[in-house]
Amino acid sequence: MYGFNLSTYSYTRSTVKGVIYSFLFFIIVGFSIYNYSDYGAVKLGIHNSRVEINKLNKQITSLKKDMKEKVGDIDLNDEKGIKKLSAKIDFLNAVIYENNFSWSELFYSLEKASPRNVSIHSVKPSYESRKIKIAGLAKKSKDVATLVDNLEKTSFIKKSFLLGESEEIIEKRYRALSFNIEAEGDF
């Protein structure tokens, strides 16, 4: 048991004080290390952001230079110049759209529209007239009429007309109807 005199001794033990001070010291050191590392990460992030901003500024400058070279005589501050540029853009978009015509979607539509006894032999689309000519063979006239009706339900073909049909003999023993259809294409 420890004895103490109230006038000469402190009321707390020095070992408890030492433990508490040591604990507080390590907490302060730990938070300081964390703050310094966080500061370094933020500083690195700011540096990387500045590098990215400089790259983007260089790209913007390059794009402006390219645009001036390609646009040429068009003044983008003038309403007429903007209309000229818009007309050029519309023309180029039309060319791109024409070249990106989906043949697979057209053939898929034809396949879905064709009844069981119909065989399509040729498909000739025309970009200028926006017409599609379809030729093929069928067993019955009813099958051709069904094909013409089904074509109008597809997404690429509208307003289809039967131009003509004629009877043919295939391999000298099978009777079939040869048909020609013209339709307006949505391409």
Superfamily in which the 102-185 domain is placed by CATH: General secretion pathway protein M, EpsM (3.30.1360.100)
| Residue 9, pLDDT above cutoff 60 | no
Name the least confident of 38-52, 86-100, 120-134.
86-100
Mean pLDDT for the stretch of residues 28-48: 91
Query: What is the token pair recorded at 102?
Result: 């989906």
The pTM of the full predicted model, rounded to 2 decimals, is 0.46
Distance of CA 187 to the CA centre of its chain: 20
Confidence at residue 24, expressed as pLDDT on a 0 to 100 scale: 93
Q: In which band, very low, low, confident or very high, does the pLDDT at 51 lie, cut at 50, 70 and 90?
A: very high
Cα 37–39–42 angle (5° rounding)?
Answer: 110
Confidence at residue 140, expressed as pLDDT on a 0 to 100 scale: 86
**Residue in this structure with the two tokens 């307006």, named with its chain if needed:** 184
| Residue 74, pLDDT above cutoff 70 | no
Of residues 114, 102, 94, 97, the one with CA closest to residue 156: 102
Report the share of the chain in percent with pLDDT over 90. Answer: 13
Of residues 186, 184, 182, the one with CA closest to residue 136: 182
Backbone dihedral angles phi then psi of residue 140, each to the nearest 5 degrees:
-130, 160
Q: In which band, very low, low, confident or very high, does the pLDDT at 127 lie, cut at 50, 70 and 90?
A: confident
| Residue 29, pLDDT above cutoff 90 | yes
Sheet with strand 131-138: strands edge to edge: 118-126, 131-138, 174-185, 157-170
| Residue 25, pLDDT above cutoff 90 | yes
Which DSSP category does 162 fall into? E
Confidence at residue 28, expressed as pLDDT on a 0 to 100 scale: 94
The CA distance from 176 to 170, in Å, is: 7
Confidence at residue 32, expressed as pLDDT on a 0 to 100 scale: 92
